[in-house]
Amino acid sequence: MTRGVLVTGASRGIGRAVAEAFAKAGDRVAVHYNSAARQAGEVAGALHGDGHVVVQADLADAAAVRRAVDTAAERLGRLDVLVNNAGVYLAHPPLSTSYEQWQEVWSATLATNLTGAANATFCAVPHLSAAGGGTIVNVSSRGAFRGEPDHPAYGASKAALNGFGQSMALALAPQHISVATVAPGFVDTDMAREILDGPQGEAIRQQSPFGRVARPEEVAAAVLWLASPEAVFASGTIIDVNGASYLRS
Ligand SMILES: NC(=O)c1ccc[n+]([C@@H]2O[C@H](COP(=O)([O-])OP(=O)(O)OC[C@H]3O[C@@H](n4cnc5c(N)ncnc54)[C@H](OP(=O)(O)O)[C@@H]3O)[C@@H](O)[C@H]2O)c1
């Protein structure tokens, strides 16, 4: 069966790898983006198979999120999987940030990483139900557990996303919708580029006994499995993809 899959933030990085993994598995993908229209078009054009589409929305705009989800479901013909991947990683160290900047970063981070994912979920549920059930996978972060001293809004947004996913796993199971989460450590994408290429880069790679950070494809493989029929009973789980750089009990 060819599933319809909406991947938010698929213009690059992890979202792009997730879109590629689903397309290779034979699914049709809605490649969502916010500002990178050209890159999103290139991603969709290069995907394996046919029937992929591109949808746009700023996840901080609730009306735009609803339009994008409905458009994806309509143009794909059905919606079976939502991957809440889009996110921002904005620095605001508490000891060197103005109060105005502090508030701006909290608002922007929560609007995209948390409320954006919550709204996309709300809008996707009727479509997933109409398809007889499906899967929602949230892309969280190791920072939810390990702390983010220079990006506290980011760490809090991801901890909240974990809790949201677990609540939804309980709420949506009667609709045959599973909800699961991946929590990557550092991944080799634009989001982490400046840090990984900077003075802290080597120390970050050495946080893992493998001596490196994750590749986007490694996160995508976990997302693909969580969205497979075999993984329905993993609903509610949070899978670490951090190269043993942070082990929680
Ligand atoms: N990279 C890491 O080290 C790492 C580690 C742990 C978790 N993660 C998580 O993995 C996810 C993907 O990260 P990534 O590294 O692939 O990031 P990335 O390369 O920076 O890509 C971010 C994606 O999110 C989209 N996006 C950003 N703000 C948006 C908004 N307001 N509305 C809609 N879309 C928006 C971007 O769209 P446009 O390009 O169109 O603007 C882009 O497609 C994020 O949730 C991130 O927190 C990343």
CA–centroid distance, residue 174 to ligand 1 (Å):
31
| Distance from chain centroid for Cα 171 | 20
Whether residue 80 lies inside any domain: the answer is yes
Whether residue 154 lies inside any domain: the answer is yes
| Cα separation, 84 vs 68, whole angstroms | 13
The confidence band for 174, taking pLDDT boundaries of 50, 70 and 90, is very high
Catalytic-residue membership of 89: no
pLDDT of residue 89: 98
pLDDT cut 90: percent of the chain above it: 99
| Cα separation, 207 vs 213, whole angstroms | 9
The confidence band for 240, taking pLDDT boundaries of 50, 70 and 90, is very high
The beta-strand segments (E) located in 72-114 are 81-84
The domain spanning residue 130 has which CATH number?
Answer: 3.40.50.720
Task: Give the max Cα distance, the chain.
Answer: 53
Which atom of ligand 1 is closest in space to residue 186's alpha carbon?
3
Q: Is the pLDDT of residue 2 over 80?
A: yes
Query: What's the number of domains the chain is made of?
Result: 1
> Is residue 13 a contact partner of residue 190, using CB atoms and an 8 Å limit?
yes
- Mean predicted confidence (pLDDT) in 121-142: 98
Q: Is the pLDDT of residue 1 over 90?
A: no
| Atom 47 of ligand 1, residue of closest alpha carbon | 87
CA–centroid distance, residue 53 to ligand 1 (Å):
19
Range of the domain at 16: 4-241
Task: State pLDDT tens for residues 13-26.
Answer: 999 999 999 999 99
| Cα separation, 109 vs 139, whole angstroms | 14
Single pTM value for the model? 0.99
Whether residue 119 lies inside any domain: the answer is yes
Whether residue 61 lies inside any domain: the answer is yes
Tokens 């989001």 correspond to: 191
The confidence band for 249, taking pLDDT boundaries of 50, 70 and 90, is confident
- Mean predicted confidence (pLDDT) in 78-102: 98
The beta-strand segments (E) located in the chain are 4-7, 28-33, 53-56, 81-84, 134-139, 177-184, 238-241
Whether residue 248 lies inside any domain: the answer is no
Task: State pLDDT tens for residues 100-123.
Answer: 999 999 999 999 999 999 999 999
